Amino acid sequence: MTTVACIGECMIELSQGAGDQLTRAYGGDTLNTAVYLARLGVNADYITALGDDPFSDEMVEAWKGEGVGTTHVSRVRGKLPGLYAIRTSEAGERSFYYWRENAAARMLLEPPETGAMLAALSGYDMVYLSGVTLSLYSADGRQRLIDALRKAREGSTRVAFDTNFRSQGWPVLDTARQVYRDILAVADIVLASVDDLTPLFGARMHGELIDRMAAREVVLKLAVPGSVVRHNGAEHTVKAEPVSRVVDTTAAGDSFAAAYLAARLDSATPVEAARAGHRLAGVVVGHRGAIIPREDMPPEVSPP
Active site residues: 254
For residue 238, which of 206, 284, 197 has the smallest C-alpha distance?
Answer: 206
Give the whole-angstrom CA distance, residue 221 versus residue 149: 25
Give the whole-angstrom CA distance, residue 39 versus residue 276: 14
Q: Which residues pair with residue 6 across a beta bridge?
A: 46, 128
Give the whole-angstrom CA distance, residue 230 versus residue 191: 11
Give the whole-angstrom CA distance, residue 56 versus residue 39: 22
* Sign of the alpha-carbon dihedral angle for 271, 277, 280, 286: negative
Pairing of strands 126-130, 3-7: parallel
